[in-house]
Amino acid sequence: MIRFLDIANHTLFWYYLASNLAYLTMLIVALKTSADHQRRLQSNRLKWIKETPMAPPVTVIAPAHNEESSIRVAVRNLLELDYPELEVVVVNDGSEDRTLEEMREEFLLRPVRAVYVPEAKSAPVRGLYRSGVDARLVVVDKEPGGSKADAVNAGLNAATSPYVCVVDADSILERDALLRIMVPVLADPKRVVAVGGIIRVLNGSEIAGGHLRRVRLPRKSIEAIQVVEYLRAFLIGREAWGQGNMLMIISGAFGVFRTDLVRAVGGYRPRAIGEDFDLVARLHRHLRDKGADYHIHFVPDPMCWTEVPSDLKSLGRQRARWQKGLLDVLWPNRDMLFRWRYGRIGSLALPYLWLFELLAPVVEIGGIATIVLAACFGVLSRVFFMQFLIFGYAFATVISIGSVLQEEITYKRYNDWQDVARLVSYCFLEHFPYRQLHMIWRLQGLWQYLRGDMAWRPLERKGLSEQVQTE
């Protein structure tokens, strides 16, 4: 028993060390990539992109289900995006409230007879509408499909542009976000097939008329600690993976894709739990199988602001669902592991996701249990425990602080020094006790998936209309 505990504890130590060294490497890559990106932006005049006829048309697809309280504001914001050729397709996914009626009244929707070819599978479409106020707005009214993927597929079938931008109807895009996210496409249109933008936490910020007026750190600790999570995940993780063309997820809240490629892989998988991760994985597989020269990019500064869960119950449901979505993608694509055809995706990106994302809750919760048992048996090594604290806690905390400092040095969205100080302080709480709660939720997600529980559990959200408003 003592021998087993000793092996288990040292395995946990090396696991934490490898995980943190991987993140340290990503932090270094992300810092360099961010600096290069800032230099490129200085040579790309967004005003020129806005006015040039060379910019390819983009269709923004926004699924909406029971969004009556904020749909008017959300659609107006999308129509106000700076971009030369823009189409907005809002998909009313079987809403049971007044979502469709609110749009009909605000935008004078009129039924249209148009060719609708269901290339991507979705629930039946009841009708198509075009705005009498702004002809760029098209509304697809469909039967409920039970998933966001189903709704996006209906929007994809109605899109007429060579690029589609998928957004959440309850998120806020900065006015120039679409211009910025299209910069990599304009720089290399032959190779860049998809681009992900950064997602930031909206909670606590001041908005008016659905527009972000002032960025503030959330007052609630459970929301503020998610700011640190998002900064580390996007500014370090996704930026580094994107630099190596190994980005495996583009957030469903804000991402651009080449329309023909999304249709070529059959659109979104309607029953996918993590539809955003699933689509990118299938795009990698499709393009690698064809031997294509391509790049899936990440851009850290086109901002999309979204509301995060503000209570433990909703947050736990969200993280459990994310973990189910991870397994739902990794298991069907296990044949890509360590196969030369899939290059760095099969040899680096997918093994990392298996080892340090999917199995992390099992390894870490099991490791903590063996540490407790070793302490109970009186065989816990003091040297080992100090190493565990240094590499399992202190090292990880430094990396989180690095993501916060990178945000402040590069983008400076939190201008109040008190907000910055609070962010840094939450870096010390993220890895204890928040991380342990997070691991329990992820274990629940794995268990739910393994026993066939695929139910979509809704989250409690305030909505755009109930966020902090300016006077």
Alpha helices, DSSP H only, in 63-161? Answer: 71-79, 99-107, 148-158
Query: Could you tell me the pLDDT band of residue 209, with boundaries at 50, 70 and 90?
Result: confident
Which tokens go with 407? 């945000």
pLDDT at 135: 94
**Pairing mode, strands 295-306 and 192-201:** parallel
Would the pLDDT of 136 be above 50? yes
Query: Could you tell me the pLDDT band of residue 41, with boundaries at 50, 70 and 90?
Result: low
Neighbours of 199 (CB within 10 A): 22
Query: Could you tell me the pLDDT band of residue 108, with boundaries at 50, 70 and 90?
Result: very high
**43-64, pLDDT tens digit by residue?**
566 666 777 777 899 999 999 9
Axis-axis angle for helices 221-231, 417-429 (nearest 10): 90
Which tokens go with 355? 């080892």
Query: Could you tell me the pLDDT band of residue 382, with boundaries at 50, 70 and 90?
Result: confident
Distance CA 139, CA 74 (A): 13
**What is the percent of the chain with per-residue pLDDT over 90, rounded to a whole number?**
61
Would the pLDDT of 36 be above 80? no
Name the residue with tokens 């090594």.
381
**221-258, pLDDT tens digit by residue?**
999 999 999 999 998 999 999 999 999 999 989 999 99
Contact 414, 403 (CB under 8 A): no
Task: Give the pTM.
Answer: 0.92
pLDDT at 467: 52
Question: Which of the pair, 379 or 232, is modelled with greater confidence?
Answer: 232
pLDDT at 415: 79
- Worst-scoring range by mean pLDDT, 18-32, 36-50, 264-278, 341-355? 36-50
H helix or E strand, kind and range, residue 192: strand 192-201
H helix or E strand, kind and range, residue 126: strand 125-131
Closest CA to 130 of 103, 161, 163: 103
Query: Could you tell me the pLDDT band of residue 460, with boundaries at 50, 70 and 90?
Result: low
pLDDT at 7: 85
Provide the phi-psi class of 32: left if phi over 0, else alpha when psi is between -120 and 50, else beta: alpha
Neighbours of 100 (CB within 10 A): 21
Question: Which of the pair, 36 or 371, is modelled with greater confidence?
Answer: 371
Distance CA 437, CA 317 (A): 12
Which tokens go with 67? 């969004």
DSSP tag of 9? H
Would the pLDDT of 155 be above 70? yes
pLDDT at 17: 87
Which tokens go with 246? 């190994």
Distance CA 464, CA 466 (A): 5
Mean pLDDT value of segment 203-222: 88
DSSP tag of 188? -
